[in-house]
Amino acid sequence: MMNRRMRWLAQLGCLCALLSGCASSGGPAEQATREMLDPATSPRQALALEGRLMALAPESDRFLPEAFFPIGLYDVPEEALPEIAAAGFNTVINGGKDASYLARAQAVGLRVIPYMDTAHMAADVASAAGRRTLFAWYLFDEPDLNALPAREYLELVELFRAVESRRPIFLTVQSPDNYSAYVAGCDILAVDPYPIQHREPELNDLRRVPQWIEAARAAAGPRPVWAILQAFFAEPRWPRNPTPQELRAMVFMALNHRASGILFFSYKSGDRPITQQAELFPAIARLVGEINALRGPLLAPTTPVDFNMEVLEEQIPAAASKAPEDRAPLDCSLRPFLDAQLFIAVNPDSWKKTVRLSMPSSVMGKSLEELFPDSPPQQPLTVPHSYPFSITFEPFQTRIFWIR
């Protein structure tokens, strides 16, 4: 166990070194980066500049590690802020907005997105003046679920913008059917699929995560889409925590489909803080480390690829046999970044499978270096020049590769 952890930490350090540091190019990407990092730039302007930077690939590649990739946790109490920051989080959702909370968050490098008192918006905005750690306002939670029609929500946004123009509006919408109705009233759209609704793994549809991300991106246009992932249980509807494998699969499927922020709900799971969940919190801390190490390429655009896949071997449990036959066996993405490409493949299902995979011609003959493997690979993988290669996945396994 210790050797595996040391290998993982060594890989993480190498990745951080590779992706840190920004060489000067003097072009639009450098200019956008300078403005984005300027302390005089408002959080809302910085968010827009980050979107502009991400769209400038490949020129922006060497600057993307400087961009803000939110990795957040909901409902963190003030006394837990140092522990959460030490775990690698950089954002707290539904955090406090009082002076003590914000000062402590700033001291440990956390950004805060608190709920606004919609009856006293001007007072909230005035009290937050000059506090850069307050990054955005949570104006209303799931208005479609909480019986606030889109027209009334957009009227609320107009009142908000009359007193606050510097900070973004963070918005969650419960149903994908309603994204388009509300999205004009936000700067950040967040989605919250919570698929662990059965104890039996084969009954939970983890593919809901990428489906909701794609629906949100179609509605959001240039706005960033952040994924809120299930890190809790609340019986009877959500009878257990996700396993580490399920949670990792959900995170990387969201990233495969261009989520530009990962949030976890929430600080409390069941009857205790998430930090006391012996299996779940170490898994989250590992994921936070991986995302932090990969934030540059994760913000780079994906390359549209038609991955031809053929299942060579699998045993589908009887309870899952009614799944649509047209579902792809793996959820994959490919991102060119600097002199390499990042390839992420996720098995979204609860059973082991071996898949024959065809890769695009641009990577044929190149080597694959697996990042964060569960165990040392038997031998280096190479993408064959002219034929597909086969790769085996355990249930809910995520495999990540540099292709050089």
List, for residues 260-282, the tens digit of each pLDDT value.
Answer: 999 999 999 999 999 999 999 99
Look at the domain 68-299 and name its fold: TIM Barrel (3.20.20)
Q: What is the DSSP letter of 267?
A: S
Q: Which of 16, 47, 177 is nearest to 111 (CA)?
A: 47
Residue 18 has pLDDT above 70, yes or no: no
The mean-pLDDT minimum among 18-27, 69-78, 175-184 falls in: 18-27
| Strand locations in 10-136 (E) | 71-74, 91-93, 111-113
Range with the poorest average pLDDT among 4-18, 156-170, 241-255, 338-352: 4-18
Sequence spans of domains, the chain: 28-67, 68-299, 308-403
Say if strands 340-346 and 398-403 run parallel, antiparallel, or are unpaired.
Answer: antiparallel
Q: Which CATH number fits domain 308-403: 1.10.3470, 2.40.128, 2.60.40, 3.40.50?
A: 2.60.40
Lowest mean pLDDT among 94-98, 215-219, 369-373: 369-373
pLDDT digits (tens, 9 = 90+) for 46-60: 999 999 999 998 999
Mean pLDDT of the 144-148 span? 96
pLDDT at residue 8 tops 50: no
Residue 6: which pLDDT band, with cuts at 50, 70 and 90?
very low
* Residues in the chain, total: 404
Scored b (16 or more CB within 10 A) or e, 103-133 reads: ebbbeeebbbbbbbeeeebeebbebbeeeeb
Q: Does pLDDT of 25 surpass 70?
A: no
Query: Pseudo-torsion of CA 346, 381, 303, 46, nearest 10°?
Result: 70
Rounded Cα–Cα distance for residues 72 and 88 (Å): 9
Residue 134, CA atoms < 13 Å, CB-side half-sphere: 27
Residue 229: which of 192, 189, 268, 273 has the closest Cα?
192
